[in-house]
């Protein structure tokens, strides 16, 4: 009984595998499943290299055309598109060796690294938005960090995708401001519990329920993160006076030490003269 069940399961599995006959690809293994299809690791026989092959659930190849328009270091390049014998569309893309963002963060925990990844994602978003493309489903599972630290934003959205609840903006109609919301949610996700309030404020501003109250674009959000990293005031947070003074002191620590040394020298000379 058990044997026949396992045989049936195996047959189901094999039947679900895409038929790559007539293509230059050889199936290796399944990598993951998304809202619009399944991604496999495959081998390109012609060029003798491994690729990622996304087989879409429908005949729509719009997703591939969408991504192919985006040539950016943080967007996985598309090599080829095609149609399988069963009519489903597929596209081959670079196989990224690395970890998903959520898994990457579990290993590399420094705040600087977390912000670096967010900035790379934001740059990819700004680039795509400038070309009229929005992601629609930005979440940790759709970001890969390569073994050399390269960041890739995957699964660029098509109309059918409605986003993932925790990262989806409460907007009736998804547009670039919805991506800003998701980027804010992603920033909030990567921040450790001890994150500075300025960074939390940046995430909160990006996640405002009113789209008009969010950052106008991804570049504005990135500029605020950059300001934080340079020790400047961020636009998203009107900081208290004591915090402003502390930031000034930490930004100008060397100069303050030198001025203190000058005052110390003058006081020392004054006391020596009056001994």
Partner 1 sequence: MNKILVGLIVGLILGAIDGATAWFTPEVRPAIAGIMVGSSIKGMIVGLLSGWYARRVESTRKGISLGAALGLLFAFLVALMQHAHYLAIMLPGFVTGAIIGFLTQRTGSAKRLAEQ
| Residues taking part in catalysis | 137
The Cβ of residue 263 has, within 10 Å, a number of other Cβ atoms equal to 10
Centre a 10 Å sphere on the Cβ of residue 154 and count the other Cβ atoms it contains. Answer: 22
Ramachandran assignment for 145, one of left (phi > 0), alpha (psi -120 to 50 degrees), beta (any other):
beta
272 binds partner 1 (CB under 8 A): yes
Question: What part of residues 245-264 is at the interface with partner 1 (CB under 8 A)?
Answer: 254-255, 258-259, 261-262
d(CA 206, CA 218) in angstroms, rounded, equals: 9
271 sits near partner 1 (criterion: CB under 8 A): no
> In angstroms, what is the minimal distance from the CB of 222 to partner 1?
25
Q: Does 232 bind partner 1 (CB under 8 A)?
A: no
Number of residues that bind partner 1 (CB under 8 A): 13
Closer Cβ to partner 1, 209 or 250, answer by number: 250
Tell me the closest approach of the beta carbon of residue 256 to partner 1, in angstroms.
11
Q: Name the 3-class secondary structure at 31.
A: strand
Q: Which residues contact 18 (CB under 8 A, 6 or more apart)?
A: 27, 38, 40, 53, 55, 84, 86, 88, 90
List the structure tokens of 170: 């409460």
Q: Is there binding between residue 17 and partner 1 (CB under 8 A)?
A: no
Q: Is 275 in the site for partner 1 (CB under 8 A)?
A: no
The answer to whether the CB of 117 falls within 8 A of the CB of 102 is no
Compute the distance between CA of residue 39 and CA of residue 55 in angstroms, rounded to an integer. 6
33 touches partner 1 by CB under 8 A: no
Looking at beta carbons only, is 172 or 272 nearer to partner 1? 272
Residue selected from 148, 242, 270, 271 as contacting partner 1 according to rule CB under 8 A: 270
**Footprint on this chain of partner 1 (rule: CB under 8 A):** 254-255, 258-259, 261-262, 265-266, 268-270, 272-273
């Amino acid at each position: 009984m058990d044997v026949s069940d396992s045989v049936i399961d195996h047959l189901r599995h094999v039947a679900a595998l895409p038929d790559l006959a007539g293509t230059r690809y050889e199936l290796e293994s399944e990598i993951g499943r998304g809202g619009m299809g399944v991604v496999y690791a495959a081998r390109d026989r012609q060029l003798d290299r491994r690729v990622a092959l996304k087989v879409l659930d429908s005949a729509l190849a719009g997703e591939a055309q969408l991504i192919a328009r985006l040539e950016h270091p943080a967007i996985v390049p598309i090599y080829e598109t095609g149609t399988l014998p069963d009519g489903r569309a597929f596209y081959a893309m670079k196989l990224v060796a690395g970890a998903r963002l959520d898994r990457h963060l579990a290993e590399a925990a420094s705040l600087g690294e977390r912000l670096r990844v967010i900035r790379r994602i934001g740059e990819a978003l700004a680039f795509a938005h400038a070309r009229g493309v929005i992601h629609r489903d930005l979440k940790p599972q759709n970001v890969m960090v390569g073994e050399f630290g390269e960041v890739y934003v995957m699964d660029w959205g098509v109309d059918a995708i409605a986003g993932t609840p925790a990262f989806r903006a409460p907007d009736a109609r998804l547009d670039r401001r919805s991506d800003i919301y998701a980027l804010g949610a992603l920033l909030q996700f990567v921040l450790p519990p001890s994150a500075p309030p300025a960074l939390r404020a940046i995430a909160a501003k990006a996640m405002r329920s009113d789209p008009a109250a969010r950052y106008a674009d991804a570049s504005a959000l990135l500029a605020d993160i950059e300001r934080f990293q340079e020790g400047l005031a961020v636009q998203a947070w009107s900081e208290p006076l004591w915090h402003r003074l502390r930031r000034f002191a930490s930004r100008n620590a060397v100069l303050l030490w030198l001025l203190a040394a000058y005052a110390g020298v003058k006081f020392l000379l004054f006391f020596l003269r009056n001994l």
